[in-house]
Amino acid sequence: MFDPYEVRRDFPILDRRVGGKRLIYFDNAATSQKPIQVIEAVSNYYRYYNSNVHRAVHTMSQEASQLYEDAHEYVARFIGADSYREIIFVKNATEAINLVAYSLGLHEFGEGDEVLVTLMDHHSTIVPWHIISKVKGFKIRYVNVTGDGHIDMDDLESKLSSRTRILCVPHVSNVLGTINDVAEMAKMVHEVGGYILVDGAQSVPHIPIDVKKLGIDFLAFSGHKMLGPMGIGVLYGREDILEDMEPFLGGGDMISSVHLEPGVGFRIEYNDLPWKFEAGTPNVAGAVGLMEAVKYLERLGMENVHSYERELVRYAMGLMDGLDGVEVYGPRDPGERAGVVAFNVRGIGGHEAASLLDDYGIMVRSGHHCAQPLHDRFGITNSARASFYIYNLKEEIDIFIDALKEIVVVSSEL
């Protein structure tokens, strides 16, 4: 097990004070903080290696290209992919999901087909399929969520059919923290001939991932939630599927050749994977930073990361469950969830609770967390959300609980 006190030394932002109080950062599901190793890796890239990739034979271009390709290799190994060819760099998980929707759904789905989305899904999953369904005429069906915060597997089974083209599901709910059995869901959808697209934005940074063991077709995740820079994300796709998919964006580097044939038009041949899906100048610095973030997490060990976060969420929920006036959402067993705890304080909304916590130097998220259908399912407009990571401490949770106790008293007097 790693030492969280030692880990904290690598994160300069944690030395900040907010309103005279020590910063307590519990908004990790939105974005994580960056260790000095990642900050320096990005800085060093711009200091010594900045050049466009795959464009020139000069030394700096070759060095930048090697770093960029190495980043693909590191990410592939981190999630258990067969090859760097299965790793596509994008801006974020949202773009990764859109890539699948537009490259696969727009070209291959049509009337009579069905796309399954869960009520637990992020808007980044729901909205692209909604847009494309209006063009292509396929039907979107929604899988329910149980009262205790799990995907309703009976409902899923009843809605799977030969018409199902793809099932979209979050590996971990960004509201409830529920860890979903995507391996079992992959088996179920494959039995009817469909694909599975997993939103891994809340799982890849926190739990060990092996895409082959999970048996999934696509996995989307963001670098900024796993200690990396903003502006870099990943789509994993099985190589045999990616080979047959149309590109999402057109332009430089995603083509092998473009020639004009008189009387015919342009003859275009696409580049090899993964470059076929990476049009234009990429975020090389972001890739370098993501590679350093992967190295950092590998040094800690993802089993250790998951175990420590489970310890934190068990500790937090144990204390929150004893607070009269605080309602916590999601599975009651901490072993069934990641380090995300959504809650409301009786008598006030999520935004007001978050604002009051900010007075204590505690940063939490508030709102519907881009998951309005899930909030509707539980009959609430919004919620506050505390989310933990490797540099958080039980002492910080104690301060958080003491603050909540005072906020409960204030809210009861309103």
CA distance 330 to 319: 15
CB atoms within 10 A of CB 153: 15
In b/e form, how buried is each residue of 186-208, taking b as 16+ CB within 10 angstroms? bebbeeeebbbbbbbbbbbbbbb
User: Residue 101, SS3?
Assistant: helix
φ, ψ for residue 22, nearest 5 deg: -65, 135
What is the Cα–Cα distance from 73 to 117, expressed in whole angstroms? 31
Q: And the tokens for 385? A: 């959300």
Count of beta carbons in the 10 Å neighbourhood of residue 411: 17
Among 190, 189, 200, 178, residue whose Cα is nearest residue 124: 200
270 DSSP β-pair partners? 255
Catalytic residue among 131, 279, 300, 370: 370
DSSP string, 186-253: HHHHHHTT-EEEEE-TTTTTTS---HHHHT-SEEEEESTTTTS-TT-EEEEE-HHHHHHSPPSS-STT
Name every residue whose Cβ is closer than 8 Å to that of residue 273 and which is 6 or more positions away in sequence: 85, 86, 88, 239, 242, 243
Is there a contact between 312 and 392 (Cβ–Cβ < 8 Å)? yes
Element holding 260 (H helix, E strand): strand 255-261
**Residues in contact with 14: Cβ distance below 8 Å, sequence separation at least 6, in sequence order:** 8, 23, 25, 33, 391
Q: Is 168 a catalytic residue?
A: no
Structure tokens at 265: 């038009």
Helix axes 93-100, 123-136, angle to 10 degrees: 20
Question: At 376, phi and psi to the nearest 5?
Answer: -60, -40
Catalytic positions: 370
